[in-house]
Copies of this chain bind each other. A is one copy, B any other.
Amino acid sequence: MVQAAIQSQTRADEAFNCLQTAIVTGDLGPGEKIGEVELCSRFNLTRGPLREALGRLESRGLLVRRPHAGVKVVSVSATELLELYRIREVMEGLAARQAAERMTDEEIRDLRDTLNSHEKMIEEAQGQAYYQAEGDYDFHHRIATGSRNTKLAQMLLGDLYYMVRMYRYRLSTSAGRPHLALGEHRRIVEAIAHRDGELAEFLMKRHINAARRNIEKKIEEGVLTI
Which A positions have Cβ atoms within 8 angstroms of B? 9-10, 12-13, 48, 51-56, 58-61, 67, 80, 83-84, 86-87, 89-91, 93-94, 98, 149-152, 154-155, 158-160, 163
Are B151 and A80 in contact, CB atoms less than 8 angstroms apart?
Answer: yes
**A163–chain B nearest beta-carbon distance, Å:** 8
Bound complex: CA A110 to CA B86 (Å): 26
Given the complex of chains A and B, what is the CA–CA distance between A54 and B12 in angstroms?
12
B80 and A86: CB pair below 8 A? no
| Main DSSP-derived SS at the A contact region | helix
A60 touches B59 (CB 8 A): yes
- Among B48, B60, B93, which residue has its beta carbon within 8 angstroms of that of A48? B48
Task: State whether A61 touches B154 (Cβ < 8 A).
Answer: yes
Measured CB to CB, the closest approach of chain B to A181, in angstroms, equals 22
